[in-house]
Amino acid sequence: MITMVRVDNRLIHGQVVSAWIPHLKVEQILVADDEAATSTLMKAAMVMAVPPALDVAIERPQDVDWPGVARSTRRVLVLVRDVAGAERILASGLAPGEVNLGNVHFGEGRKPVSPSVFLSEQELEALQRIASRGIEVTARAVPTDAKVSLEELKVRHRSAR
């Protein structure tokens, strides 16, 4: 089963390894990212950072057997780099309980909605499409942060400069 889909432009890093993995009792990490999947060095560095007992897969999204991942008996944490990446993998019919916005860095057209999340109008719309399928969309860097709902993110986005 997919415990969570996390949008994190840092992919595997400290917050994921020291906070989310124990919190969600993750048994497998699946990074769905074209760039990481094709960079040998980045791939090796990330795999090295994860406790050896944990299974790590870093694949191009189109190479992943998504129905198989959804049916897996293991607890899988899926990591994607950006909102577009999340929408792309969810288009395959995947229905995780939660899409978590962890780190979405500043970029052209993006406005801040939390210390580590910046969103564009288009990304908010994409998140709304995801939420309308009954998937919970929240922003939270680490499990001890309070969950910020999509509604609250929209309010913040409207008032952000």
Per-residue buried b or exposed e for 101-123, using 16+ beta carbons within 10 Å of the residue's own CB: bbbbeeeeebbebbebbbbbeeb
Q: Does 84 bind other proteins (CB under 8 A)?
A: no
CB of 99 to other proteins, least distance (A): 18
Q: Is 14 in the site for other proteins (CB under 8 A)?
A: yes
Asked if 60 is part of the footprint of other proteins (rule: CB under 8 A), the reply reads no
Torsion of CA 137, 138, 142, 143, to 10 degrees: -80
- Judged by CB under 8 A, the number of residues near other proteins is 26
Question: Per rule CB under 8 A, is residue 57 in the interface with other proteins?
Answer: no
CA distance linking residue 90 with residue 97, whole number of Å:
12
For residue 105, report the phi and psi dihedrals to the nearest 5 degrees: -75, 165
Q: Assess 111 for contact with other proteins (CB under 8 A).
A: no
> In the complex, which residues of this chain contact other proteins (CB under 8 A)?
9-14, 17, 39, 41-42, 44-46, 48-50, 81, 103, 105-106, 112, 115-118, 141
